Amino acid sequence: MTEEQDLAGRVIVVTGASRGIGYFTAIEAANRGAHVIAIARTVGGLEDLDDEIQAAGGSATLVPMDLMDGDAIDRMGRAIFERWGKLDALIGNAGMLGSITPVSHLDPKEVDKVFKLNVTANFRLIRSLEPLLKQSDAGRVLFVSSSSAYSCKPYWGLYAATKAALNAMAKSYAGEHANTPLNINVVNPGPTRTQMRAKAVPGENPDTLPHPREIAPKFVDLITPSYTENGQFIDLKNNGETSPL
């Protein structure tokens, strides 16, 4: 099977699919033959995504949804079961930066909100979608993390803590499936030309950063049946170097 169709017949969920990395990863997966279930809150962005996927001959199902609504995630899981009976991959891309500020200055409500999206929502996705992923011959889960989980730079405490928690959860989850066809990995895209990056580093020249469409193929490579690593942190900033979570 060629790379161009290495996801033919496979069903893939992509969160945060209305813009940035999620948007272009969804397009790349569809171009390789996958049916993409695209999740985001922004309806307009999802409609643009659908137009682009259809124009290239691909197919997608749009799910306008707030991932902080756990019951909505459960309803989506049931709908996937009723239509396809399986899921081949989950790309947990949706995330929130939160304030770059001293830890003591963080607002408790913001802390709860960022943890709920960056960590709890991914747990709810695991909980709802694992039975479907087990029905795949090569189920794949890929969470989008950050080097902040390890660097824990001053003022980045909230974002760093959520990504460290996500990595820890993914490590445990990967270990639970060490002897199954389901593989779980984490990827660090590195600095990328996204709205989140612009908010985090406002003085940076975005033209010096790779565009999300440039790294999307690397993301999709990590959820193909031929990629069999499990429990790895894949650092695209360092040429795809892998290390155990």
Domain ranges for the chain: 3-232
Which pair of structure tokens corresponds to residue 154? 């001053």
Alpha helical stretches, state H, the chain: 20-31, 43-55, 70-83, 108-115, 121-133, 148-151, 157-176, 195-200, 212-221
Answer for the pair 158, 105: CB distance below 8 angstroms, yes or no. Answer: no
A 10 A CB-CB count for 114 gives: 20
Is 227 known to be catalytic?
no
Look at residue 146 in the predicted model and tell me its pLDDT.
Answer: 95
Distance CA 244, CA 72 (A): 33
| DSSP letter (8 states) at residue 207 | G
Cα-based distances in Å from 24 to 101, 204, 220, 221: 30, 22, 10, 13
Report mean pLDDT in 10-residue bins for the chain, 245 residues. Answer: 76 97 97 98 97 98 98 98 98 96 98 98 98 98 96 97 98 98 95 78 78 94 97 94 96
Among the options 23, 159, 173, 227, which is catalytic? 159
Look at residue 195 in the predicted model and tell me its pLDDT.
Answer: 79
Look at residue 4 in the predicted model and tell me its pLDDT.
Answer: 61
Q: Which of 136, 228, 231 is nearest to 187 (CA)?
A: 231
In CATH, the number for domain 3-232 is: 3.40.50.720
Could you write out the three-class secondary structure of 22-89?
Answer: HHHHHHHHHHCCCEEEEEECCHHHHHHHHHHHHHCCCEEEEEECCCCCHHHHHHHHHHHHHHCCCCCE
Computed on alpha carbons and rounded to an integer, the radius of gyration of the chain in Å comes to 17
- Using a cut of 0.75, tell me whether the model's pTM lies above it: yes
Look at residue 1 in the predicted model and tell me its pLDDT.
Answer: 44
Answer for the pair 170, 186: CB distance below 8 angstroms, yes or no. Answer: yes
Helix, strand or coil, per DSSP, at residue 21: helix
Q: What is the dihedral of CA 229, 234, 239, 241, to 10 degrees?
A: -70
Look at residue 3 in the predicted model and tell me its pLDDT.
Answer: 58
